[in-house]
Structure 1
Amino acid sequence: MTIENALIMDGAPVRVTETGLCIDSELTFEQWCDVGRKVGRVARTSLFLVGDWLIYGQNRWNNGERFEKMPEEQRQRYVEAMQETGLELKTLLDAAYVARNVPYEQRRAHLTFEHHKTVAKVKDAHEREEWLKKADKQGLSTRRLRKSIMIGHVARDHEMRSQGAFQPRETHLLWIQRMVQWWAKVKDDPAHDEMGREELEAVLKDFEPVLDIIAQIRERSRNAVSYLEPDDNAI
């Protein structure tokens, strides 16, 4: 199947390519709505397709074991096949994680991949299915679903506004912007050019807490994959 045939548009003058949607002539409102429904369906499905494909490879050629436990030659072939998708490793990790932890029969067509990713950490199959059912019937956002799982019931409006992990965090951007503005003012100041070594080293010492923050963020970035549990990160 070519990419152009991936979506059937029932005679609408629309072509699907690897880089987007080409609309060759005017659509009626009904045709436009139909295209939107089908594009949305493909978007909601795409990562499930990748995840199921990855899990099939593990089941077919490695008795269900993750690819890291494959023999070297077999693992290399599997990694090369993964690379054929053109997707980043984190995307593949997430796709396989959700496909493994949320079975096909539990998935709900009207929920996004992110909804399913949110319930993937729920170990009990019945509980996981109940959360998906509630999210589907009540139209829960992924944020509300995540909060609801955390507190054990569908989060009410006042609970969504309460202090906790899901409150907006104080942004660092304001402080960075102030620092950039400060440097823009002083870097070309003749008085700044005349500063001696000791004065400049004193300024550097003042910046040591900032350098420490940067080092800590870099360390966390190296260790972070997603909000998934560490043992579940691997494909």
Structure 2
Amino acid sequence: MGPQAEVRKTGMILPANLPERSWEQIGTNLRELGNSSAWWLADWLRFGEAAYGWRRYKEAIERTGLDYQTLRNYAWVARRFDHHRRRDGLSFAHHAEVARLAPAEQDYWLRRAEQQKWSRNELRRTVRAGLAVQNGTAGLPAGGGDERPGAARPAGPGAAGQRCPQVTKLTIELSADQLEHLTEAAAAHGLPVDKWVTRLLETADRATADRKTADLTSA
């Protein structure tokens, strides 16, 4: 047995005569461990929430000493991918990049990333380019010629010359408990909180307009 690295809680001691191949293998193992630990934490969090309830779940997060929102994001990504849909050849971060898309779109982009050996950043750039395609009328992103799945593509920016709607930034103050409940509700719809709240506001606006129309009709 050749020289071995010594692993401690506070670091790693590598022997001076460690072969280069062994050093490379250690790096590979560390990468896989880091990627797996994100999935492990995510599934652990999901189990705690389901088995012990929200209050015990929050306590468990606090006891890990890890960032609350980061762990919540881990759990959200894990909910978006059942175990059989997770790809061993890609990192947790790859899956997080496409987590908000529909399942068919997720599978498409992850398959492309695995085939093309994209890094997380390459996947992010290509997905963003694909989402910017206006109503699916332009060609596929560079890097392959296979067909997209049948799922509808998100609409891109408006046509050239079309006036963009004015955007107003709205700030809402929420308690910690309110934010937690909203995060859970948004995650159930596969959306981040801001997108989900925007959808609620749009639904409420349409309902108000419908009521006004009905009032005018009945007057």
The interval holding the TM-score normalised by the smaller chain is 0.5 to 0.7
Normalising to structure 1: TM-score of the pair? 0.53
Match of 1:230 among 193, 203, 206: 193
Alignment check: 8 A CA contact 2:3 2:17 kept: no
Shift of 1:136: 0.9
Instruction: Deviation per CA, 1:81-104: give whole Å up to 9, x if none.
Output: 112222111211111111111222
Runs of 4+ residues deviating >6 angstroms: none
The answer on whether the counterparts of 1:13 and 1:23 sit within 8 Å (CA) in structure 2 is yes
Amino acid at match of 2:65: G
Cα distance in 2 between the residues matched to 1:17 and 1:96: 28
Aligned-pair CA distance for 1:16: 2.3
1:144 matched to 2:122? The reply is yes
| C-alpha spacing 1:119/1:127, structure 2 compared with 1 (3 Å) | same
Identity %: 30
CA contact (8 A) 2:3 2:15 kept: no
Q: How does 1:159-198 map to 2 (within 5 A)?
A: none
- TM-aligned CA distance change 1:89 to 1:35, over 3 Å: same
Partner of 2:202: none
1:178-199: per-residue Cα shift (whole Å, max 9, x none)? xxxxxxxxxxxxxxxxxxxxxx
Equivalent residues in 2 for 1:198-213, closer than 5 Å: none
**Computing the radius of gyration over CA atoms, which structure comes out larger, 1 or 2?**
1
Matched, 1:103 2:82: yes
Map 1:81-96 to 2 at 5 A.
Answer: 81-96=60-75
Amino acid at match of 2:30: V
Alignment correspondent of 1:38: 29
1:39-118 equivalences in 2 (<5 Å): 39-62=30-53, 67=54, 75=55, 77-118=56-97
Change (3 A) 1:22 1:154: farther
How far the C-alpha of 1:138 sits from its partner, in A, is 0.6
Distance apart, 1:132 and its partner CA: 0.9
- Residues 89, 154 of structure 1: alpha-carbon distance in 2 compared, 3 angstrom cutoff: farther
SS of the residue 2:64 aligns to:
coil
Q: Which residue of 1 aligns with 2:211?
A: none
* Amino acid of the structure 1 residue aligned with 2:27: G
- Which moved further from structure 2: 101-110 or 35-44? 101-110
- Structure 1 SS opposite 2:13: strand
How far, CA to CA, are the matches of 2:3 and 2:74 in structure 1?
32
Q: Higher relative CO (CA 8 A, sep ≥ 6), structure 1 or 2?
A: 1
CA distance 1:144–1:28, change in 2 (3 Å): closer
1:16 equivalent to 2:2? Answer no
Kindly provide the amino acid, as one letter, of the partner of residue 137 in structure 1: Q
The whole-number CA distance in structure 2 between the counterparts of 1:89 and 1:130 is 31
1:132 aligns with 2:110: yes
Deviation at 1:148, TM superposition (A): 3.3
Structure 2 spans left out of the alignment, 5+ residues:
132-138, 144-155, 158-168, 184-190, 197-219
Q: 1:232 to 1:49 in 2, by over 3 A?
A: farther
Paired residues, number: 149
1:156 corresponds to: 142
Q: How much has 1:115 moved relative to structure 2?
A: 0.9
Q: 2:35, 2:92 within 8 Å by CA — same for their partners in 1?
A: yes
Distance 1:232 1:107, change over 3 A: farther
